[in-house]
Amino acid sequence: MRRSPTLTALAALALAPATVHAAPWTAPQTLSAPHASQGPVGVASLALGGLVAGWRWRDDAGGDASSGAAIATRAPAARGFGAQSPTIDGLVALGPLGLRQTVTVGARAVPTSRGPAGTILRASLGGGPARTLAVARIWGRPVLASAAGGSDALIAYVERTQTASGTRRRVVRAIERRRGTWTAPSTLSGTGRADVLAAAQNPLGDAVVAFVRDGTLVARLRRPGRRWGPIQRLARSSGPTAWTVSTFLDRAGRARVTWRRHPHGGVSELRTAVVPRGRDTFTAPQTLVADGASARFAVASTLTGWVVADVEPTRAGPRPMLHRTPRFAGAPWTRLPVAPAGRGIRGADVAGNLNGSVTVAWVQPVRGQGGDGRIRSATLDADPKATAFGPVEDVSPAEAAHEVRLADDGGLILALWTARPGRAGPDEPRTVVRAAGRTG
């Protein structure tokens, strides 16, 4: 694996052990009942304050499997979340809508005597009755694009089809919510075979959908009141390749697509491209990590620009990193180490606060917990010239935490994670969903 000179230079700094300070995080609150498995956790921050978290759960007890989904709501200015409640079956996505509402999306298989014949795609607004939007042979996981304060939403998915001549395709469909009504599915890509998919929308109605089709990463952009623009090619790979794609749209209509491309036997790079304000085409991609990019990364918009958090290899082990750039197109990215390296560090997430500061959180494995461990974080001051993160903070106890999500609730940074704090039986680990807020 090729290492950049910057990685080598940072490795020497990573040899120093991390000093963990008393965290300005609240005591963890348990949001869920215990189940055999839960997650991932989805989060929707609402326009007038407050936050909704949602997750799927599953139990396998005595050969009888059961599953479901739940949500928990944190009211504006509340000290914690309310009790969990059931939500749409087969929850796959959760997002904000309007000033106070959320939209949840569920996908469940159509059962037949010969096995699943397709997928029922449904959506619910504000916990109301679910409406069936499509029945199709869906490939992978549908994605939802919505924004706090916005009235529109978009659900995109990949559908398996077959032509009259027998040609098999994986096409990209979109169902949009406009002026209070869900549209019929439309086709964004009707040729080739699509797989990886991401979408984003801002409160004004700008939307972007990115997907990989036949080894090429492409994107389509739609401005408010206009039709979808042409397909734009962002990256290409030959041969088997693992892709991770993220999309983001800020309030000014800047659309950013960030991706990790890892061809079989090749380097794993992290790149990004943006549509500047007032334009409709993507800039040339910029490379954030030339090799060693982690499978999970996170993108956020801040008061002054964009940030991308990931975990990168150093000689001392994996290390959480932050890449930062101003808003104007073509500006260089600054690479900042978040915390010292540590064995098995993974799963970085990032959130920007209303005061301009940036918090990064990650999973710090603990011995004997199968790669799980505790959640830790560090925060970068709001000063645009700041280049050093504050001290490492413990967000959770060492309780086999598996993943972490960060969200901003009106200036309060919240962390949500799944964890196995104990065992319900000799061979039955139990998982719960927890949350904590950063008070500093």
Q: What is the pLDDT of residues 18-35, one digit of tens each?
A: 555 545 899 999 999 999
Confidence of residue 167 (pLDDT cuts 50, 70, 90): confident
Residue of 16 and 315 predicted with greater confidence: 315
**In the chain, which segments carry CATH 2.115.10?**
1-16+25-84+251-275+286-440
Confidence of residue 412 (pLDDT cuts 50, 70, 90): very high
CB 120 within 8 Å of CB 131? no
Q: What pTM was computed for the model?
A: 0.91
Confidence of residue 357 (pLDDT cuts 50, 70, 90): very high
Q: What is the pLDDT of residue 131?
A: 96
Residues constituting the chain: 440
Confidence of residue 63 (pLDDT cuts 50, 70, 90): low
List beta partners, residue 402: none
CB 158 within 8 Å of CB 139? yes
Overall fold of domain 1-16+25-84+251-275+286-440:
Tachylectin-2; Chain A (2.115.10)
Nearest to 297 by CA among 267, 270, 334: 270
Indicate if the pLDDT at residue 335 is higher than 80: yes
Q: What is the pLDDT of residue 402?
A: 93
CB burial string 229-248: b at 16+ within 10 A, e below? eeebebbebeeebebbbbbb
Return the number of other C-beta atoms located less than 10 Å from residue 318's C-beta: 22
Return the number of other C-beta atoms located less than 10 Å from residue 339's C-beta: 25
Nearest to 97 by CA among 176, 38, 159: 176
